[in-house]
Homo-oligomer: A and B are copies of this chain.
């Protein structure tokens, strides 16, 4: 059975290569440049190989999104665990969120802008997505204020961050004042 196992390992390894390469290509040249042909050439296999791992391009985007969600959750927890006081934590959280979006625009798009075929806010939502939301909830729930449901507050705060991230990157908002917008958001929304 060891031969079979080796093959399975190799196959899993190639799948990771596909996802990593798609991500890399997307960050370098944008998702438009992530064509099945380009991707196949970069991994040095033919196009149909991609379809033996994923149903199509959509699923590849979804895989990148899941990878990104796990990273984002880790990044958020890293900064919030190092901050003490709810107010300081939330500020750090907001900055880390926007920082992640800015540093990984393609991954962020895969998560929240593109269609990766993933289900959000449901029971069958993939674990990494649930966990990323949980990372937000952990820090935002405690500053929701009396009578405001923690999840609802988290959703609203998240939406505001998402709006800042996307409008800024789409050049709809000038990037200079991002920090002041974050401060305003935290000042007004957070109840300490």
Contacts and interface: CB of A to CB of B under 8 A. Distances in A.
Contacts of A152: 177, 180-181, 184
A11 to B, nearest CB: 32
Contacts of A156: 160, 164, 181, 184-185
Contacts of A189: 188-189
Contacts of A184: 148, 152-153, 156
B155 A112 contact: no
Interface string A153-179: 101101111111011001111100100
Nearest to A114: B170
A113 interface: yes
A86 B121 CA distance: 34
Interface residues of A, number: 31
What does DSSP make chain A's interface, helix, strand, loop or mixed? Answer: helix
A112 B162 contact: no
Contact of A181 (B113, B155, B167): B155
Contacts of A181: 152, 155-156, 159
Given A113-B113, A170-B112, A171-B120, A159 B153 contact: no
A188 to B, nearest CB: 5
Given A113-B113, A153-B184, A163 B159 contact: yes
Contacts of A162: 163, 166-167
Interface of A: 112-113, 119-121, 148, 152-153, 155-156, 158-164, 166-167, 170-174, 177, 180-181, 184-185, 188-189
26 contacts: A113-B113, A119-B171, A120-B170, A120-B171, A120-B173, A121-B171, A121-B173, A148-B184, A152-B177, A152-B181, A153-B184, A156-B184, A159-B163, A159-B167, A159-B173, A159-B181, A160-B160, A160-B185, A161-B163, A162-B163, A162-B166, A163-B163, A163-B164, A163-B166, A166-B166, A188-B188
